[in-house]
Amino acid sequence: MKSADLTVRISILSEDATTGTLQWEETHSVTTNEFGVFTLKIGTGEQTGGSASAFSDIQWGSASHFLKVGVNDGSGYVNMGTTQLLSVPYAMYSEYAASSSSSVESSWVDGVGKVTTTVDVGIGTSAPAGKLEVQGDGDEGEEDPLFEVKRKDGQTVFAVYTGGVRHLCRHFYQHVVQIGCWWYSNIPRSGFFSGLS
C-alpha cells in the first residue's frame, strides 16, 4: 500500500503473547512511502490504553514483554503479529553501567570545594590494591608521566614515570630525580627535568 494514510496501533503485553497483561497501547498516524514503508518511534504515540500511566513506567525487567502491531487503513484494524522483545547485549550493559555509576557516585561525597571517598580508587585498573592505584596502559614512553602533581602555574612538583619518580625539593630549591636506584640532585631550578636522557 504505497502512499497510504494508516493508523498503527502498538501494544506492549507482559508475560504472554496472547493472554498477557496490556502494559501500554498507543496509536500513530503514518503515511507510507512509494514502497509501502512507514516508520514510527514507539513510546511517542497517543496513549489509548494499558496499565502503565506513562511509557517510562513500564517495568521492563519484571517479566517478558511482547510487541503487538495492528494496522488500520480505514476498514478496521488488522493484526500484523506479536513478537517477544528481547534484550540485546548493549542494552544489558547499559542497565549495568547505569546501576554501577549510581553506586560509584554514591561513594563520592561532594563537600564544599572538596570531593572525597572512602573506597579504593583505580585509574587504569578495575581492582586497585590500595586507596589509589594508577596503572599505565603500556604505551607510555620514558618521558610520559603516569601521574603528575602540578602547582597552579603548571610547574610539575611531583611526577611518576615508568622508570622512577621526579620531584621538586621545596626546602633547598633544588630538584631531585630518582631513576632506578640512583639519586641526582643540584639540578638548576630552571632546568627541572632538562638534561635527562
pLDDT at 90 over 60: no
Span 44-71, mean pLDDT? 92
pLDDT at 129 over 80: yes
pLDDT mean across residues, the chain: 77
pLDDT at 171 over 70: no
Q: CA–CA separation, 77 vs 54, rounded Å?
A: 24
Q: Is 172 left (phi over 0), alpha (psi -120 to 50) or beta?
A: alpha
In this structure, how many other beta carbons lie within 10 angstroms of the beta carbon of residue 6? 16
pLDDT at 57 over 80: yes
SS (H, E, C) the chain: CCCCEEEEEEEEEECCCCCCEEEEEEEEEEECCCCCCCCCCCCCCEEEECCCCCHHHCCCCCCCEEEEEEEECCCCEEEEEEEEECCCHHHHHHHHHHHHHHHHHHHEEECCCCEEECCCEEECCCCCCCCEEECCCCCCCCCCCCEEEECCCCCEEEEEECCEEEEEECCCCEEEEEECCEEEEEECHHHCCCCCC
Q: CA–CA separation, 179 vs 128, rounded Å?
A: 25
Cell of 145: 608521566
Contacts of 3 by beta carbon, 8 Å cutoff, 6+ apart: 31, 32, 33, 34
Q: CA–CA separation, 145 vs 166, rounded Å?
A: 10
Range picked from 30-39, 127-136, 179-188 for highest mean pLDDT: 30-39
Q: How do the domains of the chain map onto residue ranges? A: 5-85, 88-119, 120-191
* Higher pLDDT, residue 51 or 183: 51
pLDDT of residue 12: 95
Span 110-124, mean pLDDT? 74
High-pLDDT (> 70) share of the chain, %:
71
